[in-house]
Amino acid sequence: MKRNNTVLAWILALTLIIVLAGPASAKTTFIGIGTGGTGGIYYPYGGGVAEIWSKYVPGVKAVAEVTGASVENVKLAHKGETVIGEVMGDVADAGYNGTGKFDGKKNDILAMAIMYPNLLQVVTLKDSGITNIEQIKGKNISSGSPGSGTNFMAEAVFKALGIPLDSYTDSRLSFTESANALRDGTIEVGVWSVGPGTSSIMDLATTHDIRIIAFTEEQTKKILAANETYASVDLAGGVYRGVDDPVSTIGVWNVMICQKSLETDFVYNLVKALYEHNDYLLKIHPSASYTTPENAVKYSPIPLHPGTIRYIKEKGIAVPAKLMP
């Protein structure tokens, strides 16, 4: 009887250890999503993605992180400091190929999903008298925060139009800071590359009469000739108070990137949850309507991760050879 009691005690002890320790598969994987400032769409969009993954992907805890946006997000994902990043398509292309501000250094990133298109929105107050982008010479402006896709795109556009980068004074502010600086008169022009209906411009338009500067047909041709990832797009009238007519501008698609080294099964589970719970993202911002498997193969500027490719193929969608890693 004593022997049986000893065996039973050992069994109970071992069972308690297993219960307390939990199964090995129950470990939590933490994911940082590099977004941008709080005055744009990246941050709330990334927060919605984080909630989806934390709720619907077992063992994952995701969080949206405020960053300097696109250029910084490529570098953070490459180094593994965030794993996932929200990036403008032109920046993703430059980071993947090591061109432009990446100084010949190719980053180990792949695309997970296409998010939505950004529109370049060059904002001034109506009483500034500025009606053409080339009038920024000699002016105080903000081309977007350092390391952001907005700054990257603004400087690419200026270069295409022959506007020297030293011909204006650039404060390089975040979206919210740019809106405040326009309101206070410390800058005369602010640049946003963001989905239309962004909160910082909407807030500014409620207190001040704004103008969003349109690009001429000739300017648009020069910009598109120099940047193949850009497209001519109209900002619809009525998005912002006082801007009633469509505004001719430049668009670029946003990409959700990830570390190239992430396991196929892991990325597959993330992508599956993202697409299959898109209705939640739509409640956060209508731009999420563009986040579809079909758009991933239409608009991704860099190759897709194998986990994304697996999901897309399961949906019966062909993946072009140029998007295969």
Residues 76-101: tens digit of each pLDDT: 999 999 899 999 999 999 999 999 88
* Encoded amino acid at 213, one letter: I
User: Terminal CA-to-CA distance of the chain, rounded, Å?
Assistant: 66
CATH class of 27-115+255-323: alpha beta
Encoded amino acid at 59, one letter: G
For the segment 173-191, the average pLDDT, to the nearest whole number, is 97
pLDDT at residue 64 greater than cutoff 80: yes
pLDDT for residue 285: 84
pLDDT band at 26 (very low <50, low <70, confident <90, very high): low
196 versus 65: which is more confidently predicted? 65
Q: Are 154 and 193 in contact (CB under 8 A)?
A: yes
User: pLDDT digits over 208-234, tens only?
Assistant: 999 999 999 999 999 999 998 999 999
Q: Cα 116 to chain center, whole Å?
A: 9
Per-residue DSSP letters for 43-112?
Answer: HHHHHHHHHHHHHHSTTEEEEEE--S-HHHHHHHHHHTSSEEEEEEHHHHHHHHHT-GGGTT----EEEE
- The tokens for 211 are 């103008």
CB-based contact 288:273 (threshold 8 Å): no
* Beta strand extents in the chain (DSSP E only): 29-34, 60-65, 83-88, 109-125, 140-142, 169-170, 189-194, 210-212, 231-235, 247-259
| Residue 72 to residue 84: CA distance in whole angstroms | 12
CATH number attached to the domain at 119-252: 3.40.190.10
Residue 145, classed as helix, strand or coil, is coil
Residues with Cβ within 8 Å of 314's Cβ and at least 6 positions away in sequence, in order, are none
pLDDT above 90 (res 266): yes
Instruction: Read off the pTM.
Output: 0.83
For residue 233, the cross-strand partners are 249
Q: How many Cβ atoms from other residues are within 10 Å of residue 290's Cβ?
A: 17
* DSSP β-ladder status, 189-194 and 140-142: parallel
**Tokens linked to 199:** 């909160």
Distance CA 35, CA 102 (A): 19
Domains 27-115+255-323 and 119-252 share a fold: yes
pLDDT value, residue 38: 86
CA 308, CA 272: separation in Å to the nearest integer?
8
| pLDDT beyond 90 at 113 | yes
Task: Give the pLDDT confidence of 301-313 residue by residue, as tens digits.
Answer: 999 999 999 999 9
Q: Find the mean pLDDT for residues 138-144.
A: 98
**255 residue type, one letter:** V
214: its two tokens: 């349109």
Q: Where are the domains of the chain?
A: 27-115+255-323, 119-252
CA distance linking residue 157 with residue 148, whole number of Å? 14
Any idea of the CA torsion for 77, 78, 81, 84, to the nearest 10 degrees? 20
